[in-house]
């Protein structure tokens, strides 16, 4: 593998040695994205994200084309240009006591091994980075299709035996999950990882949850497929 360009660091973590690519100064117009976000219309998100989302133009990734080319080709072994499947602004608004049980655990975005997640922070370290986890009972760090049902069954068994996780954001080791890596947020930093990797945002349970995107955890979340 070629040496990464300046501003790009490649990490591998856990027993499975899954790669995470960290890219600082991801795009040259991050402040303009913040301005756009301040006027965007946000709506409800899916089951796992604890906040609101707004559609965003995936063309913005052209500003990071060289960094993305290195990450996809040299780190993840993708020789063709990946297609962007989703791209949206995401803003955390849900207080700890209001989290659904599935939002209190580590999760994965998709079982597709050909899907990459690009998480672009438009916030600072105190707003929360991202951690990766191993499910203790199964040892799973990633959840491809063949692991999806066994993991679900084991979580159902654990819930029946021990109850749902206590209200609050996941921030480190629990009886169910072991944290195996953590990456700090930084304004205009992006991390890239396989979307089947178990992860969770490092969101403080003591923070104030507001609707002012200039003071909260704002990110751009994109998913690209390599198939």
pLDDT tens readout for residues 164-201: 999 999 999 999 999 999 999 999 999 999 999 999 99
Cβ–Cβ under 8 Å, residues 71 and 205: no
pLDDT score at 2: 73
pLDDT at 208: 81
In 14-154, which ranges are E strands?
Answer: 18-23, 43-44, 51-55, 83-92, 115-121, 130-135
- Report d(CA 67, CA 188) in Å as an integer: 13
Residue 227 has what pLDDT?
Answer: 61
Say which DSSP state 197 is in. B
| Positions in the chain short of pLDDT 50 | none
* Continuous segment of H or E residues that includes residue 66: helix 65-70
pLDDT value of residue 110: 95
Cβ neighbour number for residue 123 with a 10 Å cutoff? 23
- The 10 Å Cβ neighbour count of residue 137 is 15
Q: Find where tokens 């020789």 sit.
A: 79
Please enumerate in sequence order all residues whose Cβ is within 8 A of that of 87, keeping only pairs 6 or more positions apart, or say none: 55, 56, 57, 58, 60, 61, 220, 221, 222, 223
pLDDT at 4: 77
Question: What is residue 163's three-state secondary structure?
Answer: coil
Which domains are delineated in the chain?
8-225 (2.60.120)
């Amino acid at each position: 593998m070629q040496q990464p360009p300046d501003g790009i660091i490649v990490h591998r973590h856990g027993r499975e040695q899954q790669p995470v690519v960290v890219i600082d100064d991801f795009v040259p117009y991050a402040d303009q994205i913040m301005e756009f976000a301040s006027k965007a219309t946000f709506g409800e998100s899916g089951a796992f994200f604890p906040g609101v989302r707004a559609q965003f133009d995936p063309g913005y990734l052209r500003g990071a084309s060289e960094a993305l080319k290195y990450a996809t080709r040299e780190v993840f072994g993708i020789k063709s240009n990946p297609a962007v499947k989703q791209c949206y602004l995401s803003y955390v608004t849900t207080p700890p006591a209001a989290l659904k049980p599935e939002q209190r655990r580590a999760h994965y975005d998709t079982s597709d091994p050909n899907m990459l997640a690009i998480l672009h922070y438009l916030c600072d370290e105190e707003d929360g980075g991202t951690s990766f986890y191993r499910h203790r009972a199964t040892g799973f760090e990633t959840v491809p299709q063949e692991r999806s049902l066994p993991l679900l069954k084991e979580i159902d068994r654990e819930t029946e035996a021990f109850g749902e996780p206590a209200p609050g954001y996941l921030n480190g080791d629990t009886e169910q999950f072991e944290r195996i890596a953590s990456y700090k947020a930084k304004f205009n930093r992006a991390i890239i990882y396989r979307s089947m990797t178990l992860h969770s945002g490092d969101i403080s349970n003591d923070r104030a949850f507001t609707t002012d995107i200039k003071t909260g955890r704002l990110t751009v979340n994109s998913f690209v497929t390599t198939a």
